[in-house]
Structure 1
Amino acid sequence: MSTISIKTPAEIEGMRLAGRLGSEVLDYITPFVKVGVTTGELDRLCHDYMVNVQGTIPAPLNYCPSGYTPYPKSICTSVNDVICHGIPGDKVLKDGDSVNLDITVIKNGFHGDNSRMFLVGKPSILARRLSEVTYECMWLGIAKVRPGAHLGDIGHVIQQHAEKNGYSVVREFCGHGIGTVFHEEPQVLHYGRPGTLERLEAGMIFTIEPMINVGSREIKEMNDGWTIKTKDKKWSAQWEHTVLVTETGYEVLTLSSGSPPPPAFITAPSQPVAA
Protein backbone atom coordinates (compact mmCIF):
# COMPACT_ATOMS: atom_id res chain seq x y z
CA MET A 1 0.00 0.00 0.00
CA SER A 2 1.29 3.44 -0.96
CA THR A 3 2.41 5.73 1.84
CA ILE A 4 2.25 8.75 -0.48
CA SER A 5 -0.21 11.34 0.83
CA ILE A 6 -3.05 12.52 -1.40
CA LYS A 7 -3.64 16.20 -0.71
CA THR A 8 -7.13 17.56 -0.05
CA PRO A 9 -8.44 20.56 -2.02
CA ALA A 10 -7.68 22.80 1.00
CA GLU A 11 -4.15 21.45 1.24
CA ILE A 12 -3.64 22.00 -2.48
CA GLU A 13 -4.70 25.63 -2.07
CA GLY A 14 -2.18 26.00 0.75
CA MET A 15 0.52 24.50 -1.44
CA ARG A 16 -0.37 26.81 -4.34
CA LEU A 17 0.19 29.84 -2.12
CA ALA A 18 3.43 28.52 -0.63
CA GLY A 19 4.71 27.54 -4.08
CA ARG A 20 4.02 30.95 -5.59
CA LEU A 21 5.70 32.68 -2.64
CA GLY A 22 8.74 30.43 -2.96
CA SER A 23 9.03 31.39 -6.62
CA GLU A 24 8.60 35.09 -5.82
CA VAL A 25 11.69 34.97 -3.58
CA LEU A 26 13.67 33.92 -6.66
CA ASP A 27 12.06 36.75 -8.65
CA TYR A 28 13.06 39.20 -5.92
CA ILE A 29 16.69 38.07 -5.65
CA THR A 30 17.39 37.91 -9.40
CA PRO A 31 18.73 41.49 -9.84
CA PHE A 32 21.12 41.01 -6.91
CA VAL A 33 22.84 37.94 -8.41
CA LYS A 34 25.78 39.65 -10.08
CA VAL A 35 29.56 39.93 -10.05
CA GLY A 36 30.91 40.97 -6.63
CA VAL A 37 28.03 39.88 -4.40
CA THR A 38 28.70 37.30 -1.71
CA THR A 39 26.53 34.24 -1.24
CA GLY A 40 26.04 35.39 2.35
CA GLU A 41 24.56 38.67 1.15
CA LEU A 42 22.14 36.81 -1.12
CA ASP A 43 21.10 34.73 1.91
CA ARG A 44 20.57 37.85 4.04
CA LEU A 45 18.47 39.54 1.35
CA CYS A 46 16.31 36.44 0.83
CA HIS A 47 15.89 35.92 4.57
CA ASP A 48 14.74 39.50 5.12
CA TYR A 49 12.34 39.33 2.16
CA MET A 50 10.80 36.06 3.35
CA VAL A 51 10.41 37.10 6.98
CA ASN A 52 9.64 40.82 6.69
CA VAL A 53 7.83 41.14 3.34
CA GLN A 54 6.14 37.77 2.79
CA GLY A 55 5.62 36.69 6.37
CA THR A 56 7.05 33.27 5.47
CA ILE A 57 9.51 31.06 7.35
CA PRO A 58 12.75 30.00 5.61
CA ALA A 59 12.45 26.20 5.77
CA PRO A 60 16.20 25.40 5.56
CA LEU A 61 17.16 27.54 8.59
CA ASN A 62 18.01 25.13 11.45
CA TYR A 63 16.60 22.22 9.43
CA CYS A 64 18.11 19.11 11.00
CA PRO A 65 17.39 15.67 9.55
CA SER A 66 18.71 12.66 11.44
CA GLY A 67 22.48 12.40 11.25
CA TYR A 68 23.01 16.05 10.31
CA THR A 69 23.92 19.21 12.18
CA PRO A 70 21.30 22.02 11.88
CA TYR A 71 21.55 23.85 8.56
CA PRO A 72 22.81 27.35 9.46
CA LYS A 73 21.31 29.55 6.73
CA SER A 74 17.99 30.40 5.07
CA ILE A 75 18.81 29.39 1.46
CA CYS A 76 21.24 27.08 -0.36
CA THR A 77 23.79 28.63 -2.73
CA SER A 78 25.57 26.06 -4.90
CA VAL A 79 28.32 27.57 -7.05
CA ASN A 80 30.02 25.91 -10.07
CA ASP A 81 31.13 22.42 -8.95
CA VAL A 82 28.81 22.41 -5.92
CA ILE A 83 25.94 20.04 -6.70
CA CYS A 84 23.60 21.00 -3.84
CA HIS A 85 23.30 22.28 -0.26
CA GLY A 86 26.03 24.90 -0.58
CA ILE A 87 26.06 27.02 2.60
CA PRO A 88 26.05 30.81 2.00
CA GLY A 89 29.05 32.70 3.36
CA ASP A 90 31.99 34.82 2.24
CA LYS A 91 32.24 33.42 -1.30
CA VAL A 92 32.21 36.26 -3.84
CA LEU A 93 30.53 35.57 -7.20
CA LYS A 94 32.90 36.13 -10.12
CA ASP A 95 32.35 36.80 -13.81
CA GLY A 96 31.41 33.51 -15.49
CA ASP A 97 30.28 31.70 -12.33
CA SER A 98 27.06 29.72 -12.23
CA VAL A 99 25.04 29.42 -9.03
CA ASN A 100 21.92 27.53 -8.03
CA LEU A 101 19.71 29.26 -5.47
CA ASP A 102 17.45 26.79 -3.69
CA ILE A 103 14.54 28.42 -1.85
CA THR A 104 11.93 26.81 0.37
CA VAL A 105 9.41 28.91 2.28
CA ILE A 106 6.81 27.83 4.83
CA LYS A 107 3.46 29.65 4.75
CA ASN A 108 0.60 28.58 7.03
CA GLY A 109 2.44 25.31 7.57
CA PHE A 110 2.85 24.49 3.86
CA HIS A 111 6.22 24.27 2.05
CA GLY A 112 6.99 25.89 -1.30
CA ASP A 113 10.25 24.46 -2.69
CA ASN A 114 12.04 25.52 -5.89
CA SER A 115 15.41 26.45 -7.33
CA ARG A 116 16.86 28.23 -10.33
CA MET A 117 20.24 28.52 -12.00
CA PHE A 118 21.82 31.96 -12.35
CA LEU A 119 24.68 32.68 -14.76
CA VAL A 120 26.87 35.51 -13.50
CA GLY A 121 28.37 38.12 -15.82
CA LYS A 122 29.39 36.59 -19.15
CA PRO A 123 28.97 32.82 -18.82
CA SER A 124 30.90 30.31 -20.91
CA ILE A 125 29.15 28.28 -23.58
CA LEU A 126 29.67 25.25 -21.34
CA ALA A 127 27.91 26.88 -18.37
CA ARG A 128 25.03 28.11 -20.51
CA ARG A 129 24.54 24.75 -22.20
CA LEU A 130 24.66 22.81 -18.93
CA SER A 131 22.00 25.06 -17.42
CA GLU A 132 19.79 24.83 -20.52
CA VAL A 133 19.97 21.04 -20.78
CA THR A 134 19.27 20.67 -17.04
CA TYR A 135 16.24 22.97 -17.41
CA GLU A 136 15.02 20.84 -20.30
CA CYS A 137 15.55 17.71 -18.20
CA MET A 138 13.34 19.13 -15.44
CA TRP A 139 10.55 20.06 -17.85
CA LEU A 140 10.72 16.75 -19.71
CA GLY A 141 10.21 15.09 -16.33
CA ILE A 142 7.32 17.41 -15.46
CA ALA A 143 5.64 16.68 -18.80
CA LYS A 144 5.44 12.98 -17.86
CA VAL A 145 3.30 13.72 -14.80
CA ARG A 146 -0.31 12.51 -15.03
CA PRO A 147 -2.51 9.98 -13.21
CA GLY A 148 -1.52 6.44 -14.12
CA ALA A 149 2.06 7.32 -15.08
CA HIS A 150 4.93 5.97 -13.00
CA LEU A 151 7.75 7.71 -11.18
CA GLY A 152 10.14 5.66 -13.32
CA ASP A 153 8.78 7.47 -16.41
CA ILE A 154 10.02 10.77 -14.96
CA GLY A 155 13.47 9.46 -14.09
CA HIS A 156 13.88 7.73 -17.45
CA VAL A 157 13.19 10.76 -19.62
CA ILE A 158 15.51 12.94 -17.48
CA GLN A 159 18.35 10.41 -17.64
CA GLN A 160 17.87 9.88 -21.37
CA HIS A 161 18.08 13.60 -22.17
CA ALA A 162 21.07 14.25 -19.89
CA GLU A 163 23.09 11.32 -21.20
CA LYS A 164 22.18 12.05 -24.82
CA ASN A 165 23.87 15.42 -24.29
CA GLY A 166 26.97 13.86 -22.75
CA TYR A 167 26.14 14.65 -19.12
CA SER A 168 25.61 12.47 -16.05
CA VAL A 169 22.80 12.33 -13.46
CA VAL A 170 23.52 12.52 -9.74
CA ARG A 171 22.01 9.43 -8.06
CA GLU A 172 22.40 10.17 -4.34
CA PHE A 173 19.89 13.05 -4.22
CA CYS A 174 16.40 13.16 -5.65
CA GLY A 175 13.07 14.94 -5.68
CA HIS A 176 10.61 14.28 -2.87
CA GLY A 177 7.04 14.48 -1.74
CA ILE A 178 6.21 17.72 0.05
CA GLY A 179 3.34 19.33 1.96
CA THR A 180 3.25 20.30 5.62
CA VAL A 181 6.39 18.12 5.82
CA PHE A 182 9.52 19.36 4.00
CA HIS A 183 10.58 15.90 2.75
CA GLU A 184 8.08 13.04 2.56
CA GLU A 185 7.29 10.10 0.29
CA PRO A 186 7.78 9.52 -2.58
CA GLN A 187 11.42 9.76 -3.56
CA VAL A 188 11.54 11.07 -7.13
CA LEU A 189 14.62 9.60 -8.81
CA HIS A 190 16.08 11.42 -11.81
CA TYR A 191 17.08 8.17 -13.52
CA GLY A 192 15.35 4.85 -14.05
CA ARG A 193 13.16 2.73 -16.28
CA PRO A 194 9.69 3.60 -17.62
CA GLY A 195 6.75 1.78 -16.07
CA THR A 196 8.56 1.20 -12.77
CA LEU A 197 8.12 2.53 -9.22
CA GLU A 198 4.97 4.12 -7.80
CA ARG A 199 1.95 4.89 -9.95
CA LEU A 200 0.91 8.54 -9.85
CA GLU A 201 -2.51 9.61 -8.56
CA ALA A 202 -4.28 12.97 -8.63
CA GLY A 203 -3.53 14.91 -5.46
CA MET A 204 0.10 13.84 -5.11
CA ILE A 205 2.58 16.71 -4.77
CA PHE A 206 6.34 16.32 -5.19
CA THR A 207 9.43 18.09 -6.44
CA ILE A 208 11.33 17.36 -9.65
CA GLU A 209 14.87 18.69 -9.27
CA PRO A 210 17.49 17.01 -11.47
CA MET A 211 21.17 17.52 -10.62
CA ILE A 212 23.19 17.16 -13.83
CA ASN A 213 27.00 17.03 -14.04
CA VAL A 214 29.36 17.89 -16.89
CA GLY A 215 31.69 15.05 -15.88
CA SER A 216 31.07 11.90 -13.87
CA ARG A 217 28.12 11.49 -11.51
CA GLU A 218 30.43 10.80 -8.53
CA ILE A 219 30.04 13.11 -5.54
CA LYS A 220 31.97 14.10 -2.42
CA GLU A 221 30.71 15.63 0.82
CA MET A 222 32.53 18.59 2.34
CA ASN A 223 33.58 18.80 5.99
CA ASP A 224 30.68 21.12 6.86
CA GLY A 225 28.40 18.06 6.61
CA TRP A 226 26.10 19.70 4.04
CA THR A 227 27.91 20.89 0.90
CA ILE A 228 28.01 18.30 -1.89
CA LYS A 229 30.50 18.74 -4.75
CA THR A 230 31.38 16.80 -7.88
CA LYS A 231 34.27 14.42 -7.22
CA ASP A 232 36.03 15.43 -10.46
CA LYS A 233 35.56 19.19 -9.80
CA LYS A 234 33.58 19.62 -13.03
CA TRP A 235 30.47 21.80 -12.96
CA SER A 236 26.97 20.78 -11.98
CA ALA A 237 23.54 22.39 -12.49
CA GLN A 238 20.09 21.98 -10.98
CA TRP A 239 16.57 23.31 -11.53
CA GLU A 240 13.57 22.54 -9.35
CA HIS A 241 9.79 22.91 -9.39
CA THR A 242 7.07 21.57 -7.09
CA VAL A 243 4.41 19.73 -9.10
CA LEU A 244 0.81 18.65 -8.41
CA VAL A 245 -0.68 15.61 -10.16
CA THR A 246 -4.09 16.78 -11.44
CA GLU A 247 -7.00 14.73 -12.78
CA THR A 248 -5.77 15.34 -16.35
CA GLY A 249 -2.03 15.93 -16.03
CA TYR A 250 -0.03 18.29 -13.90
CA GLU A 251 0.11 21.76 -12.40
CA VAL A 252 3.41 23.45 -11.55
CA LEU A 253 2.90 25.12 -8.17
CA THR A 254 6.14 27.11 -8.03
CA LEU A 255 5.38 29.62 -10.77
CA SER A 256 5.31 33.41 -10.50
CA SER A 257 5.54 36.41 -12.79
CA GLY A 258 9.33 36.12 -13.05
CA SER A 259 9.54 32.38 -13.69
CA PRO A 260 11.47 31.49 -16.85
CA PRO A 261 9.07 30.16 -19.51
CA PRO A 262 8.98 26.43 -20.24
CA PRO A 263 11.06 25.24 -23.21
CA ALA A 264 9.30 25.57 -26.58
CA PHE A 265 8.73 21.82 -26.85
CA ILE A 266 6.58 21.97 -23.69
CA THR A 267 4.29 24.77 -24.86
CA ALA A 268 3.94 23.42 -28.41
CA PRO A 269 0.34 22.43 -29.37
CA SER A 270 1.38 18.77 -29.59
CA GLN A 271 2.29 18.88 -25.89
CA PRO A 272 -0.75 20.38 -24.15
CA VAL A 273 -0.09 21.58 -20.64
CA ALA A 274 -2.84 20.78 -18.15
CA ALA A 275 -4.23 23.79 -16.31
Structure 2
Amino acid sequence: MTSVPNRTLNNGVEIPQLGFGVFQVEDAQTTTAVTAALEAGYRSIDTAAVYGNEEGVGRALAASDIPREELFITTKLWNADQGHDATLRAFDVSLDKLGLDHVDLYLIHWPTPARDLYTDTWRALEKLASDGRARAIGVSNFQPAHLTRILEQAGVVPAVNQVELHPYLQQREPRAFHEAHGIATEAWSPLAQGALLKDDALTAIAARHGKSPAQVVLAWHLSIGNIVIPKSVTPARIRENLDVFDITLTDEDIDTISALDRGTRTGPDPDTLN
Protein backbone atom coordinates (compact mmCIF):
# COMPACT_ATOMS: atom_id res chain seq x y z
CA MET A 1 0.00 0.00 0.00
CA THR A 2 1.39 3.36 -1.05
CA SER A 3 1.72 6.20 1.45
CA VAL A 4 0.67 9.52 -0.09
CA PRO A 5 2.32 12.75 1.11
CA ASN A 6 0.11 15.51 2.49
CA ARG A 7 -0.14 19.17 1.57
CA THR A 8 -0.94 21.65 4.35
CA LEU A 9 -3.73 24.03 3.41
CA ASN A 10 -3.84 27.69 4.46
CA ASN A 11 -5.90 26.87 7.57
CA GLY A 12 -3.52 24.13 8.75
CA VAL A 13 -5.66 21.20 7.55
CA GLU A 14 -3.69 18.51 5.72
CA ILE A 15 -4.89 17.00 2.43
CA PRO A 16 -3.32 14.06 0.60
CA GLN A 17 -1.62 15.37 -2.52
CA LEU A 18 -3.03 12.52 -4.61
CA GLY A 19 -6.64 11.51 -4.22
CA PHE A 20 -9.36 9.58 -6.01
CA GLY A 21 -12.07 11.20 -8.13
CA VAL A 22 -15.45 9.75 -9.06
CA PHE A 23 -16.62 12.13 -11.81
CA GLN A 24 -18.88 10.34 -14.35
CA VAL A 25 -18.97 7.13 -12.29
CA GLU A 26 -22.46 5.69 -11.78
CA ASP A 27 -23.57 5.48 -8.17
CA ALA A 28 -23.72 1.67 -8.09
CA GLN A 29 -20.23 1.40 -9.57
CA THR A 30 -18.86 4.11 -7.27
CA THR A 31 -19.00 1.90 -4.19
CA THR A 32 -16.82 -0.76 -5.83
CA ALA A 33 -14.39 1.80 -7.25
CA VAL A 34 -13.97 3.69 -3.97
CA THR A 35 -13.53 0.43 -2.08
CA ALA A 36 -10.74 -0.55 -4.49
CA ALA A 37 -9.14 2.87 -4.08
CA LEU A 38 -9.21 2.68 -0.29
CA GLU A 39 -7.69 -0.81 -0.41
CA ALA A 40 -4.93 0.47 -2.71
CA GLY A 41 -4.01 3.22 -0.26
CA TYR A 42 -5.98 6.29 -1.30
CA ARG A 43 -7.35 8.26 1.62
CA SER A 44 -8.75 11.29 -0.21
CA ILE A 45 -12.04 10.83 -2.10
CA ASP A 46 -13.52 13.62 -4.25
CA THR A 47 -17.21 13.66 -5.22
CA ALA A 48 -19.91 16.28 -5.88
CA ALA A 49 -23.65 16.65 -5.53
CA VAL A 50 -24.13 16.79 -9.30
CA TYR A 51 -22.23 13.53 -9.85
CA GLY A 52 -25.15 11.66 -8.32
CA ASN A 53 -22.84 9.27 -6.49
CA GLU A 54 -22.43 10.68 -2.99
CA GLU A 55 -24.45 7.74 -1.67
CA GLY A 56 -22.13 5.31 -3.46
CA VAL A 57 -19.15 6.99 -1.79
CA GLY A 58 -20.97 6.82 1.54
CA ARG A 59 -21.58 3.09 1.20
CA ALA A 60 -17.88 2.45 0.58
CA LEU A 61 -16.90 4.59 3.57
CA ALA A 62 -19.42 2.85 5.83
CA ALA A 63 -18.09 -0.57 4.82
CA SER A 64 -14.46 0.42 5.38
CA ASP A 65 -12.67 -0.11 8.68
CA ILE A 66 -10.40 2.89 8.04
CA PRO A 67 -10.75 5.41 10.89
CA ARG A 68 -12.64 8.55 9.84
CA GLU A 69 -9.76 10.78 10.91
CA GLU A 70 -7.53 9.10 8.30
CA LEU A 71 -9.91 9.95 5.47
CA PHE A 72 -10.27 13.19 3.55
CA ILE A 73 -13.68 13.59 1.91
CA THR A 74 -14.50 16.38 -0.55
CA THR A 75 -17.86 17.23 -2.07
CA LYS A 76 -19.17 20.20 -4.00
CA LEU A 77 -22.23 22.44 -4.13
CA TRP A 78 -24.09 22.41 -7.44
CA ASN A 79 -24.94 25.62 -9.29
CA ALA A 80 -28.71 25.43 -8.78
CA ASP A 81 -28.20 25.46 -5.00
CA GLN A 82 -26.14 28.64 -4.80
CA GLY A 83 -27.27 31.38 -2.42
CA HIS A 84 -26.77 31.49 1.34
CA ASP A 85 -29.75 29.52 2.66
CA ALA A 86 -29.97 27.16 -0.32
CA THR A 87 -26.31 26.28 0.19
CA LEU A 88 -26.88 25.30 3.80
CA ARG A 89 -29.80 23.08 2.79
CA ALA A 90 -27.83 21.46 -0.02
CA PHE A 91 -24.92 20.78 2.31
CA ASP A 92 -27.23 18.91 4.68
CA VAL A 93 -28.44 16.75 1.80
CA SER A 94 -24.88 15.92 0.74
CA LEU A 95 -23.85 15.12 4.28
CA ASP A 96 -26.82 12.78 4.67
CA LYS A 97 -26.02 10.98 1.43
CA LEU A 98 -22.40 10.55 2.46
CA GLY A 99 -23.44 9.31 5.90
CA LEU A 100 -21.03 11.71 7.60
CA ASP A 101 -21.21 14.37 10.29
CA HIS A 102 -18.68 16.58 8.51
CA VAL A 103 -16.66 16.80 5.31
CA ASP A 104 -13.01 17.68 5.06
CA LEU A 105 -13.42 20.03 2.10
CA TYR A 106 -16.54 21.69 0.67
CA LEU A 107 -16.31 23.52 -2.64
CA ILE A 108 -18.50 25.83 -4.73
CA HIS A 109 -18.52 23.80 -7.94
CA TRP A 110 -18.66 26.67 -10.49
CA PRO A 111 -18.75 30.47 -10.11
CA THR A 112 -21.74 30.89 -12.52
CA PRO A 113 -20.89 34.60 -12.76
CA ALA A 114 -24.07 35.67 -14.61
CA ARG A 115 -26.12 34.56 -11.59
CA ASP A 116 -23.85 36.56 -9.25
CA LEU A 117 -24.51 34.44 -6.18
CA TYR A 118 -21.09 33.10 -5.37
CA THR A 119 -20.21 35.71 -2.73
CA ASP A 120 -23.44 35.00 -0.80
CA THR A 121 -22.73 31.32 -1.27
CA TRP A 122 -19.23 31.77 0.10
CA ARG A 123 -20.63 33.30 3.30
CA ALA A 124 -22.63 30.10 3.82
CA LEU A 125 -19.44 28.07 3.40
CA GLU A 126 -17.76 30.29 5.98
CA LYS A 127 -20.56 29.42 8.40
CA LEU A 128 -20.11 25.71 7.71
CA ALA A 129 -16.41 26.08 8.45
CA SER A 130 -16.98 28.06 11.64
CA ASP A 131 -19.47 25.42 12.79
CA GLY A 132 -16.91 22.65 12.19
CA ARG A 133 -19.06 20.89 9.61
CA ALA A 134 -16.49 21.50 6.87
CA ARG A 135 -12.86 21.36 7.98
CA ALA A 136 -11.80 23.40 4.97
CA ILE A 137 -13.70 25.36 2.31
CA GLY A 138 -12.80 26.32 -1.20
CA VAL A 139 -13.96 26.78 -4.75
CA SER A 140 -13.79 25.02 -8.09
CA ASN A 141 -13.35 26.45 -11.57
CA PHE A 142 -12.93 30.02 -10.29
CA GLN A 143 -10.92 32.42 -12.42
CA PRO A 144 -8.65 35.03 -10.78
CA ALA A 145 -11.35 37.71 -11.23
CA HIS A 146 -13.87 35.56 -9.34
CA LEU A 147 -11.35 34.85 -6.60
CA THR A 148 -10.54 38.54 -6.29
CA ARG A 149 -14.17 39.30 -5.41
CA ILE A 150 -14.12 36.59 -2.76
CA LEU A 151 -10.92 37.97 -1.28
CA GLU A 152 -12.30 41.52 -1.25
CA GLN A 153 -15.66 40.69 0.30
CA ALA A 154 -15.11 37.64 2.49
CA GLY A 155 -13.37 36.89 5.73
CA VAL A 156 -11.90 33.50 4.83
CA VAL A 157 -9.47 32.88 1.97
CA PRO A 158 -10.41 29.76 -0.02
CA ALA A 159 -8.16 26.86 0.90
CA VAL A 160 -8.37 25.28 -2.55
CA ASN A 161 -9.33 26.12 -6.11
CA GLN A 162 -10.00 22.94 -8.06
CA VAL A 163 -9.60 23.60 -11.79
CA GLU A 164 -9.23 21.67 -15.01
CA LEU A 165 -5.47 21.32 -15.33
CA HIS A 166 -3.26 19.04 -17.41
CA PRO A 167 -0.29 19.41 -19.78
CA TYR A 168 -2.57 20.71 -22.55
CA LEU A 169 -4.13 23.30 -20.17
CA GLN A 170 -1.49 24.30 -17.63
CA GLN A 171 -3.34 27.25 -16.07
CA ARG A 172 -0.23 29.32 -15.40
CA GLU A 173 -2.07 32.55 -14.54
CA PRO A 174 -4.48 30.95 -12.04
CA ARG A 175 -1.64 28.94 -10.48
CA ALA A 176 0.40 32.11 -9.98
CA PHE A 177 -2.62 33.85 -8.43
CA HIS A 178 -3.19 30.90 -6.11
CA GLU A 179 0.42 30.90 -4.99
CA ALA A 180 0.36 34.63 -4.31
CA HIS A 181 -2.72 34.27 -2.07
CA GLY A 182 -2.05 30.98 -0.28
CA ILE A 183 -4.64 28.99 -2.22
CA ALA A 184 -3.80 25.39 -3.11
CA THR A 185 -4.23 24.33 -6.74
CA GLU A 186 -6.11 21.08 -7.24
CA ALA A 187 -6.33 19.52 -10.71
CA TRP A 188 -9.42 17.86 -12.07
CA SER A 189 -9.23 16.02 -15.41
CA PRO A 190 -5.49 15.70 -14.70
CA LEU A 191 -5.07 13.34 -17.67
CA ALA A 192 -7.31 15.41 -20.01
CA GLN A 193 -9.79 12.52 -19.96
CA GLY A 194 -7.11 10.38 -21.59
CA ALA A 195 -6.64 12.73 -24.55
CA LEU A 196 -2.92 13.17 -23.99
CA LEU A 197 -1.93 9.56 -23.20
CA LYS A 198 -0.84 8.91 -26.79
CA ASP A 199 1.13 12.13 -27.03
CA ASP A 200 4.52 11.32 -28.56
CA ALA A 201 6.48 13.48 -26.12
CA LEU A 202 4.79 11.92 -23.10
CA THR A 203 5.14 8.36 -24.36
CA ALA A 204 8.87 8.96 -24.93
CA ILE A 205 9.34 10.28 -21.39
CA ALA A 206 7.34 7.35 -20.03
CA ALA A 207 9.50 4.85 -21.90
CA ARG A 208 12.67 6.38 -20.44
CA HIS A 209 11.28 6.04 -16.90
CA GLY A 210 9.73 2.61 -17.38
CA LYS A 211 6.30 4.02 -16.53
CA SER A 212 3.03 4.70 -18.33
CA PRO A 213 2.22 8.11 -19.84
CA ALA A 214 -0.50 8.53 -17.20
CA GLN A 215 2.01 7.96 -14.42
CA VAL A 216 4.38 10.51 -15.96
CA VAL A 217 1.61 13.12 -16.17
CA LEU A 218 0.63 12.53 -12.54
CA ALA A 219 4.29 12.83 -11.52
CA TRP A 220 4.43 16.14 -13.40
CA HIS A 221 1.42 17.42 -11.45
CA LEU A 222 3.05 16.45 -8.16
CA SER A 223 6.38 18.01 -9.18
CA ILE A 224 4.79 21.43 -9.75
CA GLY A 225 2.88 21.25 -6.47
CA ASN A 226 -0.63 20.39 -7.67
CA ILE A 227 -3.07 18.32 -5.67
CA VAL A 228 -4.43 15.77 -8.11
CA ILE A 229 -7.50 13.50 -8.25
CA PRO A 230 -7.32 10.96 -11.10
CA LYS A 231 -10.36 8.81 -11.80
CA SER A 232 -10.62 5.17 -12.85
CA VAL A 233 -12.97 2.26 -12.26
CA THR A 234 -10.36 -0.36 -13.20
CA PRO A 235 -8.55 -1.79 -10.13
CA ALA A 236 -5.23 -2.18 -11.96
CA ARG A 237 -5.37 1.42 -13.19
CA ILE A 238 -6.43 2.65 -9.75
CA ARG A 239 -3.29 1.06 -8.31
CA GLU A 240 -1.11 2.27 -11.19
CA ASN A 241 -2.17 5.87 -10.68
CA LEU A 242 -0.89 5.67 -7.11
CA ASP A 243 2.48 4.19 -8.11
CA VAL A 244 4.09 7.49 -9.10
CA PHE A 245 6.10 8.62 -6.12
CA ASP A 246 9.32 6.97 -7.32
CA ILE A 247 9.36 9.01 -10.54
CA THR A 248 11.90 11.83 -10.63
CA LEU A 249 11.38 13.90 -13.75
CA THR A 250 14.45 15.63 -15.17
CA ASP A 251 14.59 19.33 -15.99
CA GLU A 252 14.43 18.30 -19.64
CA ASP A 253 11.28 16.26 -18.97
CA ILE A 254 9.65 19.23 -17.22
CA ASP A 255 10.60 21.58 -20.07
CA THR A 256 9.19 19.14 -22.63
CA ILE A 257 5.88 18.85 -20.77
CA SER A 258 5.71 22.62 -20.22
CA ALA A 259 5.90 23.06 -24.00
CA LEU A 260 2.74 20.98 -24.50
CA ASP A 261 0.39 23.71 -23.24
CA ARG A 262 -2.30 24.39 -25.87
CA GLY A 263 -4.85 26.17 -23.70
CA THR A 264 -7.44 23.56 -24.66
CA ARG A 265 -10.21 22.46 -22.30
CA THR A 266 -12.07 19.18 -22.04
CA GLY A 267 -14.77 20.85 -19.93
CA PRO A 268 -16.76 24.12 -19.90
CA ASP A 269 -15.40 27.64 -19.72
CA PRO A 270 -15.89 29.03 -16.17
CA ASP A 271 -16.57 32.51 -17.53
CA THR A 272 -19.61 31.37 -19.51
CA LEU A 273 -21.09 28.35 -17.71
CA ASN A 274 -24.20 29.29 -15.73
Q: TM-score range by the shorter chain?
A: under 0.3
TM-score by length of 1: 0.27
Structure with higher RCO (Cα < 8 A, 6+ apart)? 1
TM-score under structure 2 normalisation? 0.27
Higher helix proportion:
2
